[in-house]
């Protein structure tokens, strides 16, 4: 049985994008970043994944500085390398070349061994009318469930 402890979830990603494919990746961190992540001081909002020279990087994610660190603290919004197999990187690169597709982080969690992992998704941006349609369908379903519960 998998035991995953969520650190943070990018809720806006599920609202703004249609996720077509998910992948699990390791992430290269320094010591103070891991300590800060254990305290839950991390945000994936407005971050994305970029592929350069057959390597993947997490761009614009915010890991706050560790409060008990001395002068050896990390930079909060630095590029962080993601650990994926070469085949996975090539597959992701092909998907992103399609117009409108991008790679975004969905959630960060600790796996069974205590390592920090990140779940990334290949996504296509939703249009405004698609978002409204999803909200409308969710409201209709909620009302139907309430009516059925009363009977």
- Tell me the domain boundaries of the chain: 5-126
The superfamily in CATH containing domain 5-126 is: Small protein B (2.40.280.10)
**In terms of DSSP bridges, do strands 5-9 and 62-63 run parallel, antiparallel, or are they unpaired?**
unpaired
pLDDT at residue 12, as a whole number: 83
> pTM, whole model, 2 decimals?
0.76
**Nearest alpha carbon to residue 122 among 103, 97, 108, 107:** 103
Q: What number of other Cβ atoms are within 10 A of residue 74's Cβ?
A: 20
> 83-95 burial by CB neighbour count: b if 16+ within 10 A, else e?
ebeeebbeebeeb
- Cβ count near 96 (within 10 Å): 16
Write down the pLDDT at residue 75. 74
Element (DSSP H or E) covering residue 63: strand 62-63
Tens digit of each residue's pLDDT, the chain (151 residues): 456 778 888 888 888 888 898 999 999 888 888 888 888 888 888 888 989 998 999 998 888 777 776 777 777 788 889 999 999 999 988 888 888 888 999 989 988 888 889 999 998 887 877 778 888 888 999 988 888 888 7
Helix (H), strand (E), coil (C) string for 86-104: HHHHHHHHHHHCCCCEEEE
CB atoms within 10 A of CB 128: 7
């Amino acid at each position: 049985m998998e035991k995953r402890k969520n650190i943070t979830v990018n809720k806006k990603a599920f609202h703004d994008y249609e996720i077509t494919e998910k992948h699990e990746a390791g992430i290269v961190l320094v010591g103070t970043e891991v300590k800060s992540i254990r305290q839950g001081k991390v945000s994936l909002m407005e971050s994305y994944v970029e592929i350069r020279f057959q390597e993947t990087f997490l761009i614009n994610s915010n890991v706050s500085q560790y409060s008990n660190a001395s002068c050896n603290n990390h930079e909060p919004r630095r590029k962080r390398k993601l650990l994926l197999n070469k085949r996975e990187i090539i597959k992701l690169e092909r998907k992103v070349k399609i117009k409108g597709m991008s790679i975004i982080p969905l959630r960060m969690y600790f796996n069974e061994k205590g390592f920090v992992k990140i779940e990334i998704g290949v996504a296509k941006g939703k249009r405004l009318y698609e978002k409204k349609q999803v909200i409308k369908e969710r409201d209709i379903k909620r009302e139907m469930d309430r009516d059925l519960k009363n009977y």
